[in-house]
Amino acid sequence: MERLLKFIYEYRAFFTFIFLELMCAWLIVENNQFQSSRYFNSSNRIAANVLGFSQGVREYFSLRTINNDLAHENAILRTALEQRNQRIIASRIPELKKTMINHRFEYISAKVMSNSTDLYKNYITVDKGKLDGIEPGMAVISTLGAVGKVKSVSNHFSVLISLLHTDEMVSCTIKQKDYFGTAQWDGADSRFTALRYIPRHANPAVGDTVVTSGFNAVFPNGVLVGVIHQATLSEEAPFWDIKVALAQDFNRLSFVELVKSNLKKERDSLVSVTIGEIR
């Protein structure tokens, strides 16, 4: 305290000068209309910039909550859209009204906790698990397109098999041509996947849309996978060699939606019984 008082005493002339300058500036602003208006306009502009900056900082730190809310709302809207489509189909076909009571798909939003893209077999971890109704085998999509399917679950987390996995195969169709094939990553580039088993008479074209077929009762029908980037055909090859540009950039994956198929168990059990009887 003594040193502070000594400092103020030594520089008393400087502090007196600053005080008088501020008093003069205040008197000029108070007694002159032009200077007063200029001062208040400038101060308001500075205050607005400071408030805008502080608001931007608050919004930045609340982005996580905002993104979680948007992902949850998106899942609800997808479920509502699925239910609406089923009601439309049921209204057109009266015989299906009773069977449409059980909605086919439900959507659960989740946040990506970890995600690999540089391996041959890539996995994704999300923050939803068994307690949230997640089960192995459920399909996983994003707002942009197909992502993968659930491999294993714990109470609070799930591990997903990414489409960037050399063993993962997804039944797909070329939307413009209605030809079916299988999307399977070749391990080369995280931006592309291969579309296999498209017959040589299909004539796929660059820019054609590739979507899920819905044949395996895991993915809903029509989920975007990507667009054809390159299509070549050898002289004696029975199938096209097709490269598909993935709709989802897996290096920027933040939120996903896990798709619960309410009819999958019924379908799988029927197929199992039928195949067993045939054998």
* pLDDT at res. 97: 46
Q: Would you say the pTM of this structure is higher than 0.75?
A: no
DSSP structure class, residue 127: S
Q: What are the Cα distances from residue 139, in Å, to 54, 142, 221?
A: 41, 10, 12
Q: What is the pLDDT of residue 100?
A: 45
Angle between helices 63-92 and 33-61 (to 10 degrees): 60
Predicted local distance difference test score (pLDDT) of residue 279: 42
101: its two tokens: 């009571």
What string of pLDDT tens digits covers the 279 residues of the chain? 778 777 777 878 888 888 888 887 777 766 776 656 665 556 656 665 665 666 566 656 666 666 766 766 676 676 666 656 655 655 665 554 444 444 678 888 888 889 999 999 999 999 899 999 999 999 999 888 999 999 999 999 999 999 999 999 999 999 888 899 999 999 999 999 999 999 999 989 999 999 999 887 678 888 999 999 999 998 889 999 999 999 999 998 888 999 988 777 776 777 677 766 544
Tokens of 189: 């580039």
